[in-house]
Amino acid sequence: MAEHNEWFFPRGALSDGSWESVVDARLDGWQHTGMRVAELAGDTVELPAGDVERIVVPLSGAFSVGHEGATTHLAGRSSVFDGPTDVVYVGAGNALAISGFGRVAVAEAPTRVRKPSVHIARDEVPVELRGAGRDSRQVHNFAVPGNETSPGTLDAAALIVCEVITPAGNWSSHPAHKHDEDVPGHESQLEEIYYFESAPVRGANAPQNADAFGSFATYRSAAGDIETNALVRTGDIALVPFGYHGPAVAAPEYDLYYLNVMAGPGEERAWLISDDPRQAWLRDTWTAQETDPRLPYVPTTQGAAR
């Protein structure tokens, strides 16, 4: 049987040097995705060239990313609850250096395929309002594969990355679903990283020491045993090597955010999921409900925090 919460890592549990958290193949049983999170105060973190593609995602603040003899300036945002940010994709084979003020994440996937680096501006990020009623959430699809109706924003080799904002009291990653076996046209085999942040709901008269949190769950599928049932706070990370995952639930007083990073062993970069058949029916209930009127979340202040 799976050990309870063995794939859940509280903030700082994966620290490595200047990085608050590092997820990579050094973790037993993990091989297709990676993530790094750092908090910078004008200093610089560097990553070497190699067979790895990366996306730099400002969580809060603004940053400069040096790569391929040039510098990409990321305007960033005040917080993850201020809607999408601009990001930069740095193709495999390139070193990079990140400097600035604030919190920054780097999504990674090992690959030998070389794709051109690209800056995606904030207003180029597709914003999707998914679900309805208390299942309403906001998704920033800046690095997801294309389909018949959309060419996709980023032509990456393996990385699939998006952000989700779940307003206070709502549910996301719901219904529970999986992507742990390769079924052409139906399901992709993908590892997934969840990086969380939480904060008092907009306009709340919350004290400085308010303990903002949400919750997240995973459970077994035919691919393997997994059991996560954790309260999640800013900086926490949950890994999903296989199994059903969801829901992610925002407490009534706190908004919840997560950054998803996915990649897998398949040659096709595709994001195809299978709902838990016992929960799939709830999607049909959305047609009779309105989208949460609090969405979309857009900036509440001008410019990024500095």
- Give the type of residue at 108: E
pLDDT for residue 300: 72
Q: Token match 């109706």: residue? A: 149
Contact indicator for 105, 39 with CB cutoff of 8 Å: no
Number of other CB atoms surrounding residue 201 within 10 Å: 18
Give the residues across from 72 on adjacent strands: 65
Average pLDDT over residues 35-39: 98
Average pLDDT, the chain: 95
Of the listed ranges 88-102, 126-140, 236-250, 292-306, the one predicted with least confidence: 292-306
pLDDT for residue 39: 98
pLDDT above 70 covers a percentage of the chain that reads: 96
CA distance linking residue 116 with residue 45, whole number of Å: 22
Q: Is 93 left (phi over 0), alpha (psi -120 to 50) or beta?
A: left
What pTM value is reported for the model? 0.96
CA distance linking residue 222 with residue 283, whole number of Å: 23
pLDDT above 90 covers a percentage of the chain that reads: 92
Tell me the H-state helices in the chain: none
Residue 255, exposed/middle/buried by CB under 10 A (0-12, 13-18, 19+)?
buried
Res 275 pLDDT > 70: yes
pLDDT for residue 151: 61
Res 33 pLDDT > 80: yes
Distances (CA, A) of 168 to 4, 149, 194: 26, 31, 18
User: What is the token pair recorded at 197?
Assistant: 């942040």
66-116 pLDDT, tens digit each: 999 999 999 999 999 999 999 999 999 999 999 999 999 999 999 999 999
Distances (CA, A) of 177 to 17, 169, 259: 35, 21, 17
CA distance linking residue 297 with residue 234, whole number of Å: 18
Fold observed for domain 8-282: Jelly Rolls (2.60.120)
Contact indicator for 249, 215 with CB cutoff of 8 Å: yes
Contact indicator for 65, 88 with CB cutoff of 8 Å: yes
CA distance linking residue 145 with residue 241, whole number of Å: 20
Size of the chain, expressed as the number of residues it contains: 306
Give the residues across from 28 on adjacent strands: none
Torsion sign across C-alpha atoms 147, 150, 156, 161: negative
pLDDT for residue 293: 97
User: What is the token pair recorded at 302?
Assistant: 């001008």
Res 14 pLDDT > 80: yes
